[in-house]
Chain A
Amino acid sequence: MKKIFYIIVFLLICSITGQTQSDAPISERKVPTMNGHTFPSSSHLGSSFITTHLQADLGFGLTSTLKIPGIVIDDYEIFSFEGQILFFSTSVQYHQRFTPWLSLYLTFKMSGRVGTDISTIMADGVNTLSGGDIGWLLRITKTEKFNLTGTINVQNLTGNFINVSDYFEDIINNVPDPSVTKKVPAMLIGAGIRGAYAFNPTYGLQFQADFDYGETFERSITKGYFSAGLIGDVDFLPKHNTAVGLALGYAISSAPEIVMGEGGLSHLITGKIGYTGSDDFELGVQYTYFNVNINSVDDKPFIRLIKKWLIKYQYRHNRQ
């Protein structure tokens, strides 16, 4: 029964992808273009363009060397560690455009962090976050140079935390039913705005601001999450006939997939180089430098994230 259910769903989605856009005139370019400028994608800033596309990205990174404090007994510190923590993240997003002003999007994402050796695994554990979101992208206004859209979405996330040191702490503090693993679900509802401005065919600017409200990874606590950022880019294709684009951006975020269970604000600086020569797809490498709170260490370490193999495939759609 379940198989039939999923087959029907699959066929329905395939038929929408195949037919909604087939009986109208096709656009000159499939990639998001305005005032002759092609806008690049970024993994921390969503696109403001209502298109049908599939985007996948994959990233990994390392912290600088961290000193994890131990216990001080008679001026001697025991159980202190030094090491690095590995971060990884991956996501796949699909946008389905229905009208020139409305699209539905789905995202599946997973991110996590783990120590690079036994000592940091013992101290910081293994932390993963998985889930996804579903939402609407609605156009607010569009002119020759400016595009502004709004988003409404629901996120469903599950945090899995394996922490040996917390387990021993719970045993010492007589916490009932101590467990090495913790699985905490969180549901968030959010809204935001996304925009893009094309100065000329070479230069463009994109921005985003989001607010989500819902559960945190500490049970019984609800709170708001905020993220905002902007990214400027230059495309060398129109003037220099070189299919390379560069982008530089800044974002501030308390989103759970970035800060995970610890909370707080992260500052993200992003640089990206991408291929801009294709009408069908976009390919790029993004480098992000950001800081996060990690409870097991004193400092707020910076993470060099070799983000991301970012691949985006555009489906043909009507002229906007």
Chain B
Amino acid sequence: MTKFTHLLILWIFLVSSLLVSGQSYVGIFGGLNSSKLSGDAPNNAKYKGIMGANVGAYIDLNLGKGIFLSLQPSYSQEGTKLSYTLPKVEEPVDSIKIRLNYFSLPLLLKVTSTNKRFYAIGGFETGLLVDSYVSSHDTKEDIKTNVAKWNVAMHFGVGIKIPIGFPRLFVEFRYSQGLINLTDEPIEKSYVPRVKTAGFKILAGIEIPLKKTDK
């Protein structure tokens, strides 16, 4: 058996044992990313936030005492606007949009508050770049700079759960900070020099418990 098969069997065993041991949840979510690149900006330019979508599904595995391991495969639109300062123009001009679309797999820990309505969430996200482009005034082209295929980010967030009978709605706010440089180009040669992803997410969704309880 390959190493991957070993890991898969171990993973299935771990997930199934966690599913049996306590109340776990599955759900879907969607929301908005307000993301931008942080790091070195090109000369006479600065990065500004750009809105994108974030959709996915998740499973929360109960680790006990209000702690859940949350697996959240999702599609996340990230990127940035580049705002340039032009001679004789007072305000910077938003002339370029850079879009980086990821398939991401966050592995997070969720901790519920004592009243079980609020929760804190945090952990790491691994993202695979599936699509990227740069657009300016209705023209779209591939990014010429070599952008890293993988991204790793750290998440910090808070959320509220709203029971509506058997399922529960939730609203969540997260800050995400990329940990690795997506590019490492000199400032004067690139419109995305040494940069990382950063941004806020506001997410909403619905979850259902996997076991039916009396409550």
Asked if B113 contacts A20 (CB within 8 A), the reply is yes
- What CA separation (Å) do A290 and B169 show in the bound complex? 52
Asked if B188 contacts A16 (CB within 8 A), the reply is no
Asked if A23 contacts B115 (CB within 8 A), the reply is yes
- What CA separation (Å) do A104 and B119 show in the bound complex? 11
> What chain A residues lie within 8 Å of B32 (beta carbons)?
5
Which residues 6-23 of B have a CB within 8 angstroms of A?
Answer: none
Judged by DSSP, the binding face of B is strand
Asked if B158 contacts A16 (CB within 8 A), the reply is yes
Interface residue B105 (Cβ < 8 Å from any Cβ of A): no
CB-contact partner of A16 in B66, B112, B118, B175, under 8 A: B118
Closest CB in chain B relative to A167 CB, distance in Å: 15
Most B Cβ at <10 Å: residue of A19, A23, A154, A189: A154
Given A13-B173, A20-B118; 15 other pairs, CB 8 A cutoff: A9-B173, A19-B117, A23-B115, A98-B111, A98-B112, A98-B118, A99-B66, A99-B111, A136-B120, A154-B156, A156-B38, A156-B198, A177-B43, A187-B179, A219-B194
Q: Can you sample 28 A-B contacts with CB below 8 Å?
A: A5-B34, A8-B171, A8-B202, A9-B200, A12-B159, A12-B171, A13-B158, A16-B118, A16-B160, A19-B115, A19-B117, A24-B114, A24-B115, A96-B120, A98-B118, A98-B120, A98-B158, A136-B156, A156-B177, A177-B43, A177-B188, A183-B40, A183-B41, A185-B40, A187-B39, A187-B179, A187-B196, A219-B194
Q: Sorted from nearest, which 7 A-B pairs have the closest CB atoms?
A: A98-B120, A154-B177, A20-B113, A98-B113, A134-B156, A20-B118, A185-B39
Interface residues of B (CB under 8 A from A): 32, 34, 38-41, 43, 49, 51, 66, 111-115, 117-120, 122, 154, 156, 158-160, 171, 173, 175, 177, 179, 188, 194, 196, 198, 200, 202
